[in-house]
Amino acid sequence: MRDRDHTSSSRNADAPGLRALCVTRIFPNRVEPSFGPYNQKQLAALSSLGWDVTVVNPVPWFPGASVLRGRTRASISATVPRTDTIASLPVLHPRFLHVPRLPFVHAPLYAAGVWRDVEKLRGRFDVILSPFAYPDGVASILLGRLLNVPVVVKLHGGDMNVAAKNPPVARWLRWTFPNVARIVAVSYPLAEAAHSFGAPWSRVVVVEDGVDSSVFRLRDKAEAKSAAGLDPTRRHIVYVGRLERRKGVYELMDAFDRLAPKHPDVDLVLVGDGEDTAACQKWASTMGDRVHLTGNVGIDEVARYYAASDITTLPSYAEGTPNCVIEALACGRPVIATSVGGIPDMIHDERMGELVPAKDVDALVGAFEKSLGRTYDPALIVKLTGRGTWADSARHLGDVLRGATERP
């Protein structure tokens, strides 16, 4: 795939910004401040380049969701305000009816839920950007047709690697992808996936996510451990992300069960929250003080945990180009992750970490033991990563959005 060039140069770097409406569920809110921070960073960078950016971040809803007390995303998000400002971006939070186990209706219900807010903004945006293919992207394509506005769909990984394997979702994608103005993929494997669903190569562009090198950078490990409240004399495996089965947290717990007795100086740190937080807490209570759960934390604290780690891990079942891997590598820390999505493109050298098959506890344990037994060069890891800034990423995305508006 590397021999095809689906990237574009920033030929319009000095052109004035246009007006973009971003429609996506994958964006931080007051209740889930760490949900989709990469979209927040990229859009904030786009805004700083002179673009007028408004975010429509719909919240799933169904009757009685608020009484389930955090057991579903709809109940967790029930208290999200209707309007907000996040990272200086105006954000709307309409509700859309979510019907589990009926994926074919998710896109039209999503579109219906956000229609009133989007229609009120008619004439105030030039292009719709929709991170995540389904239901967000397909719903946005439906909205774009109603409003006669070009739509750019951005692919992240779980949309194409998981959702697209569901036959009803696949039918939606095959119907809409051939006619979308542009598709942005955060990795080359995702670009291939988009083409396999009918998107012409001429409309598929790879735009890599960036990294904030002022936050995610080399730091002294012992000082970072102390600042994070961790024992500097101990070693730490750090996981950053949602505590959910699809992220491999159950395999991680099983692996640490087996690893802990052999390595009494190693602890596990789980940074984040999610639908399986209670299960993780119950398991952690059986591990004494060997497991630390932090809950959701801010970006500076996340960076501190990366810097404090001896190993960062992501045993996920499916990914695109996960920012937790980008950020850990930018901090000079080795990563043990599953060989899914765009991750092999990121951990392309054994001096950066190890790759394992998804759902393979034996392989995960083996990779931990191998990495704990070797020494890594943090500066070399950063050098091998070769990641640009969020401003670089936003500038490239802006070129793609502008190209979508200029398409006949």
Q: Cα–Cα distance between 128 and 54 in angstroms, integer? A: 10
pLDDT digits (tens, 9 = 90+) for 93-110: 999 998 888 989 999 999
- 3-class state of residue 342 by DSSP: coil
Compute the half-sphere exposure of residue 172: CA atoms within 13 Å on the CB side of its CA.
24
Residue 172, H or E segment: helix 167-176
Tokens of 59: 């919240």
Q: What is the pLDDT of residue 341?
A: 83
Q: Cα–Cα distance between 219 and 53 in angstroms, integer? A: 34
Contact indicator for 167, 135 with CB cutoff of 8 Å: no
Q: What angle do CA 164, 99, 241 make, to 5 degrees?
A: 60
Phi, psi of 396 (to 5 degrees): -65, -45
- 3-class state of residue 52 by DSSP: strand
CA–centroid distance for 131 within its chain = 10
Q: What is the pLDDT of residue 302?
A: 95
CATH 3.40.50.2000 fits 19-210+389-406, yes or no: yes
Phi, psi of 321 (to 5 degrees): -125, 85
- Count CB-CB contacts under 10 A for residue 78: 19
CA–centroid distance for 393 within its chain = 15
Q: Taking the domains of the chain in order of start, what are their residue ranges?
A: 19-210+389-406, 221-385
- Tokens 């007006």 locate to 19
Q: What is the pLDDT of residue 395?
A: 96
pTM: 0.80
Query: Residue 135, preceding bond cis, omega within 30 degrees?
Result: yes
What is the full per-residue pLDDT of the chain (408 aa) written as tens digits?
333 444 444 445 456 679 999 999 999 998 888 788 889 999 999 999 999 999 999 998 877 666 555 556 666 677 899 999 999 999 999 999 988 889 899 999 999 999 999 999 999 999 999 999 999 999 999 999 999 999 999 998 888 988 899 999 999 999 999 989 999 999 888 999 999 999 999 999 999 999 998 999 999 999 999 999 999 999 999 999 999 999 999 999 999 999 999 999 999 999 999 999 999 999 999 999 999 999 989 889 999 999 999 999 999 998 878 889 999 999 999 999 999 988 998 999 999 999 999 999 999 999 999 999 999 999 999 999 988 899 999 999 999 999 999 965
End-to-end CA distance of the chain: 28
Domain 19-210+389-406 and domain 221-385 have a common topology: yes
Q: What is the pLDDT of residue 123?
A: 94
Q: What is the pLDDT of residue 240?
A: 97
pLDDT digits (tens, 9 = 90+) for 1-41: 333 444 444 445 456 679 999 999 999 998 888 788 889 99
In single-letter form, the type of residue at position 389 comes to T
Strands (E), 113-240: 127-131, 151-155, 182-185, 204-206, 235-240
Q: Cα–Cα distance between 257 and 246 in angstroms, integer? A: 19
- 3-class state of residue 152 by DSSP: strand
What is the architecture of the domain spanning 221-385? 3-Layer(aba) Sandwich (3.40)
